Amino acid sequence: MTTLLVIAKEPLPGRVKTRLTPPFTRREAAQLAEAALADTLHAVAAAPATRRVLVLDGAPGPWLPPGFEVLPQCAGGLDERLADAFARCFGPALLIGMDTPQVTPELLTVDFTDCDAYLGAAEDGGFWALGLAEPAPALLRGVPMSTPVTGAVQRERLLAAGLRVRELPRLRDVDTAADARAVAALAPHGRFAARLARCTPVAPR
């Protein structure tokens, strides 16, 4: 089976989901980030895996379910941190972030029998998931992150290496208040939707 990796930041006010402020306060943005992370980790916990790893910038909190290894993120840009996460794996691995709380265990149940890589595109042009049958950190280093072409560049990297790539469904990341509302509607019974319902956005002036 597969190693499932989650790369995340500790959900502290002012350090996460800053694009949600405004309309939400920094504390509410951190609470939404924590709920998104908790939903993500519980989906990973319910998916089949030989190993579940949280690659964390910060310290774990009560939102972390049992059964996870916690490893610190390395220094450097996001491409370096993703590459380093794969470098700590042996055999098939699937990496996701904390920005898609609508993810399900079924989406994370991957089979590398007939492919070498999985890529889950995000609606903003990035990617929410990357899977490799054989971890190859060099495939991520130098990929421009957090741009409208990140997913396309990563896909080209995989194809140029001769890998057979299988696509995962396109998902929407939570970056803005509009994203938060749309994602909560997709997973109305999750922790993220419940937390969003308790937030009171500040009206624009």
Distances from the Cα of 205 to the Cα of 22, 26, 177, 199, 202, angstroms? 11, 18, 16, 18, 9
Rounded Cα distance, 74 and 23, in Å = 32
pLDDT value at residue 202: 64
Are 112 and 22 contacting, i.e. CB atoms less than 8 angstroms apart?
Answer: no
Partners of 131 in beta bridges: 94, 118
Rounded Cα distance, 159 and 17, in Å = 32
Report pLDDT digits (tens) over 79-129: 999 999 999 999 999 999 999 999 999 999 999 999 999 999 999 999 999
> Mean pLDDT over all residues of the chain?
96
Q: Is 70 exposed, middle or buried (0-12, 13-18, 19+ CB in 10 A)?
A: exposed
DSSP code string of 122-154: ETTSSEEEEEESS--GGGTTTPPPSSTTHHHHH
Q: Is the pLDDT of residue 1 over 80?
A: no
Report pLDDT digits (tens) over 22-80: 999 999 999 999 999 999 999 999 999 999 999 999 999 999 999 999 999 999 999 99
Q: Is the pLDDT of residue 169 over 70?
A: yes
pLDDT value at residue 205: 44
Strands (E), 16-152: 51-57, 69-72, 93-96, 117-122, 127-132
How confident is residue 10, by pLDDT bands cut at 50, 70 and 90? Answer: very high
pLDDT (mean) for 12-17 = 96
pTM: 0.95
Per the structure block, which two tokens stand in for 183? 């994602």
